[in-house]
Amino acid sequence: MVEAVTENHDVKAALFERLDAVLADDALLATTTSSLSVAELGAASGRRDRFAGLHVFNPVEKMDLVELAFAPAASQPTRDGMQRLCEALGKTAIEVPDVPGFVVNRLLFPFMFEAVQLLASTGVEPETVDACMKLGAGHPMGPLALLDFVGLDVAVAIGESIEVEVPQRVRELVDAGRLGRKSGAGFFEYR
């Protein structure tokens, strides 16, 4: 069973507590968290030995990587089963430490937030920043478009989870209901 609800510990934990009563004893459980503690969610599930973090990347159909994170209590059959699941999905699974943000988000979000700070300190336009990173660094999408793609509300949650400063501009956009692509507007307009 792979959970894919909002990036909120309490919401995920409550779901896992409810699922424990209805799933078979031998069921493997996974969370799609991108920044929360796999060990803590595994404890909430009541199945620490049968629990994993399965961090997929968007757009799922184009991104090959799945970061697999396990709490120390995860059994070898759980580790093997999750690896097989990723292979069956056509993904490349790489085991990463159970630390906030794992590897990719721990490195990516400070970078994206620095792009936001650059806007504030220089007045440069979002299109300019994104074009520079696409053309100069070979990124498939610029950092500001990526923040919009992820969702600015999700970006705030991840930033807080990995304990990096979330730029005020991101918080202002969220407060204004500009959550990125899903709301039709963020740093860019999508309507």
Q: Where do the structural domains in the chain lie, given as residue ranges?
A: 2-96, 104-183
Residue 70 has pLDDT above 90, yes or no: yes
pTM: 0.87
Choose among 176, 163, 181: nearest CA to 58.
181
How would DSSP label each residue in 32-56? --SSS-HHHHHHHHT-GGGEEEEEE
Residues noted as catalytic: 55
Task: For residue range 140-175, list pLDDT tens digits in order.
Answer: 999 999 999 999 999 999 999 899 999 999 999 999
Distance from C-alpha of 159 to C-alpha of 82, rounded to nearest angstrom: 27
What's the rounded mean pLDDT across residues 7-26?
A: 92
Which CATH code of 3.40.50.720, 1.10.3720.10, 3.40.50.150, 3.40.30.120 fits the domain covering 2-96? 3.40.50.720
User: How is residue 161 written in tokens?
Assistant: 């989870």
CATH number of 104-183: 1.10.1040.10
